[in-house]
Amino acid sequence: MKRGFTLVEIMIVVAIIALLAAIAIPNLLRSRITANESAAQATLRSISTALETYAAANDGEYAAAEGDLTGATPPYLNKSYCAQTESGYTYACTLATTSYTITARPQNCTTSGTKSFQMTTGGVLSTDGTCTAAGA
C-alpha cells in the first residue's frame, strides 16, 4: 500500500496557506505605515525641539542652517535630517532666524505612509490628512 498525499490534499493545504497570507500581509503593511508615520512625527518634534532650544540660547533667533544645530558643541541635533530620507519619509526644512517650517512627506503613499506632516515655528505639528509623496 502506497503512502502519501493526494493532489487534492496538497491543493487544500496550499489554499489555506494562501488565505492566511492574504489576511496577514495587509495587517503587516498597515503596521509598517503606522510605525513610519509615528517616526516622522517624532523626528519633526526632535528637530523642532532642537530649534526652540537653539533660539532660547541665542536671544530668540532660530538657526538659519541645519549645520548650526549639528555643528554646535554639544550638538542640538545629533544628525542631519533636512533633504534626507528616513523610515520612508523625506524631510524638507525652511530655516530662517525668525521662523522655521519642516515637512515630512512619504516616499510612496501606499507603502511608506498615508499622511504628510508639517512642523512650524513654536512646535506646531499639523497634517492635512492626505498624502503628498515626496517628489510629487
The pLDDT of residue 71 is 93
Residue that wins the pLDDT comparison between 133 and 96: 96
Identify the band that residue 135 occupies on the pLDDT scale cut at 50, 70 and 90: low
Please say if the pLDDT value at position 120 is more than 90. yes
Integer Cα distance of 3 and 22 in angstroms: 31
Q: How far is CA 76 from CA 15, 32, 63, 70, 83, in A?
A: 55, 29, 10, 6, 18
pLDDT tens per residue across span 59-116: 999 999 999 999 999 999 999 999 999 999 999 999 999 999 999 999 998 888 999 9
The pLDDT of residue 117 is 94
The pLDDT of residue 27 is 85
Provide, rounded to the nearest whole percent, the portion of the chain with pLDDT above 70.
97
- How many other C-beta atoms lie within 10 A of the C-beta of residue 21? 10
* Nearest CA-CA partner of 107 in 92, 96, 126: 92
For the ranges 88-92, 120-124, 131-135, which has the lowest average pLDDT?
A: 131-135
pLDDT tens per residue across span 7-55: 999 999 999 999 999 888 888 888 999 999 999 999 999 999 999 999 9
